[in-house]
Amino acid sequence: MTGGTRSRRVLLLLLLIGVAAPAASGVVTDGLLPNGDFEQGPDASQMNGTRVMSPNSIPHWEISGFVEYIVSGQKQDDMILPVPEGARAVRLGNDATIRQLLSVTRKKTYSITFSAARTCAQAEKLNVSVGPESGVLPIQTVYTSSGWDSYSYAFRARHSTVWLTIHNPGVEEDPACGPLIDFIAINTLNPPRREKGNILRNGDFEEGPFIFPDTAWGALVPPLDEDDVSPLPGWMVMSDTKVVKYVDAAHHAVPQGARAVELVAGREAALLQEVPTTPGRWYRLSFSVGDAGNGCAAPLAVEAYAGRATARVQYESRGMGGSRRASLEFAAAANPTRVVFQSYNHHMKPDGTLCGPVLDDVALVSVRRRARRLLL
Ligand SMILES: *[C@@H]1O[C@H](CO)[C@@H](O)[C@H](O)[C@H]1NC(C)=O
Ligand SMILES: *[C@@H]1O[C@H](CO)[C@@H](O)[C@H](O)[C@H]1NC(C)=O
């Protein structure tokens, strides 16, 4: 019996066990996926150099195409691949795919977070898919000085078992060229809540993608198409290739609660939500603008748009955390109204990575116009 046949049989057995005893093996739990850090690797006999030759040789994963298994310290040409000390990762070369079968709860919404690092110069992309849904994540911009960024992707489960697939659609001269992938995690997303009186959903950003507790760089929320499931419930990112950064209070200054959003891409990315409004009625949009306490010392500003109203809210950041409240009143011109936020400018930290204002606690309430008249 060849190694390939044996491992295929083992996989088949695992699949059968998974199907026969879903209660025992259970639905996937929030956090790292089984071997989501690739610490379990292939046998030497299943590799040629760094290339993984057998589709089932990385435990819990199935691969195809040019996939390499990289341990820290390994080089490409003269460049050391940026795998953290003691860690292991996979590298997705030309047309390479890794996938894992997940047990999930039907109709629930999940978010996937994974870390990726570019290793080649060209515009790299990753196609993440779950069942029939897929999204192409642009990864050419690097947002950390380590080179590793965590990306998020969300899906609504149509079935109780789904394949999560990460594919590098690139076709480069050097077949090994492609991003490193490590730390793949999942979390359940609860339906976006509306706080009492707040017409916006998830205005405090407390619901969102998984952030690895050991990483200091949050999770990036990529641009989405209109009908995609958002990893940041209620909210959508509009951009060609840029993202917003979802940050945690453990590693950042967050105006309130445990999570907030850092607008890291200037006017190249907009964070927006569509809210139900009554044309002609007055509303007040209020929000916190601050800095993440990550050294982004600059005159920051957030631009907010709602209906035909706009506001530019300045915030003088010393890069040490802090925030202020701001608000904008407007008469709805339509139903729904798009509420949009973006950073007025691009900013950089001393290490050369992009940063920007932090946004938190966004609330939209209906206000009586008479009260406003009395003020005038
Ligand atoms: C291993 O890779 C080298 C270089 O690409 C190739 O020449 C060789 O034939 C490969 N060996 C096997 C057993 O596939
Ligand atoms: C991404 O992958 C999915 C599933 O394999 C595929 O249907 C889709 O066409 C791919 N998209 C792109 C842009 O390659």
When pLDDT is averaged across residues 302-321 and rounded to a whole number, the result is 96
21 CB-contact burial (10 Å; exposed 0-12 / middle 13-18 / buried 19+): exposed
In the prediction, which pLDDT does 140 show?
87
- Sequence-distant (6+) residues with CB within 8 A of 212 are 113, 115, 150, 183, 185, 219
Q: Is 228 left (phi over 0), alpha (psi -120 to 50) or beta?
A: beta
In the prediction, which pLDDT does 370 show?
54
The string of DSSP letters for 113-159 reads EEEEE--SSS--EEEEEETTEEEEEE--S--SSSSEEEEEEEEE-SS
pTM of the model: 0.89
Say whether pLDDT at 77 is over 90: no
List the residue whose alpha carbon is closest to atom 13 of ligand 2: 136
When pLDDT is averaged across residues 271-297 and rounded to a whole number, the result is 97
Instruction: Give the number of other CB atoms < 10 A from CB of residue 168.
Output: 27
Domain with CATH 2.60.120.260 in the chain: 3-189, 239-375
In the prediction, which pLDDT does 373 show?
46
**Of the bound ligands, which one is closest to the alpha carbon of residue 168?**
2
Say whether pLDDT at 349 is over 80: yes
Task: Specify the 3-state DSSP secondary structure of 24.
Answer: helix
When pLDDT is averaged across residues 181-209 and rounded to a whole number, the result is 93
pLDDT in tens, 82-97: 887 778 999 999 999 9
Question: Which secondary-structure segment (H or E) carries 103?
Answer: strand 97-103
Side-chain-side CA neighbours of residue 21 (13 Å) = 5
Ligand 2 binding pocket includes 136 (Cβ within 6 Å)? yes
Task: Name the CATH superfamily, with its identifier, for domain 3-189.
Answer: Galactose-binding domain-like (2.60.120.260)
Residue of 64, 94, 127, 225 best suited for mutating to test ligand 2, as the one with most atoms within 8 Å of CB? 127
The CATH number of the structural domain formed by 239-375 is 2.60.120.260
CA nearest to 222, candidates 283, 314, 136: 136
Ligand 2 binding pocket includes 138 (Cβ within 6 Å)? no
User: Average per-residue pLDDT in the chain?
Assistant: 90
Say whether pLDDT at 371 is over 70: no
In the prediction, which pLDDT does 76 show?
75
Which of 190-204, 260-274, 278-292 has the lowest average pLDDT?
A: 190-204
pLDDT in tens, 27-70: 999 999 999 999 999 999 999 999 999 999 999 999 999 999 99
| 134 alpha carbon – ligand 2 mean position (Å) | 6
CA 246 to chain centre: 8
In the prediction, which pLDDT does 29 show?
93
Q: Are 46 and 54 contacting, i.e. CB atoms less than 8 angstroms apart?
A: yes
Give CA separation, 58 vs 33, 39, 86, 112, 113, in Å.
13, 9, 18, 20, 20
Ligand 2 binding pocket includes 127 (Cβ within 6 Å)? yes
In the prediction, which pLDDT does 22 show?
40
- Sequence-distant (6+) residues with CB within 8 A of 106 are 157, 158, 159, 160
| 265 alpha carbon – ligand 2 mean position (Å) | 26
Instruction: Give the number of other CB atoms < 10 A from CB of residue 259.
Output: 23
| 355 alpha carbon – ligand 1 mean position (Å) | 44
Task: Specify the 3-state DSSP secondary structure of 205.
Answer: coil
Say whether pLDDT at 193 is over 80: no
Residue type, 353: T
Instruction: Give the number of other CB atoms < 10 A from CB of residue 39.
Output: 13
| 48 alpha carbon – ligand 2 mean position (Å) | 28
Say whether pLDDT at 19 is over 80: no
In the prediction, which pLDDT does 273 show?
97
When pLDDT is averaged across residues 323-341 and rounded to a whole number, the result is 96
When pLDDT is averaged across residues 225-254 and rounded to a whole number, the result is 95
List the residue whose alpha carbon is closest to atom 11 of ligand 2: 127
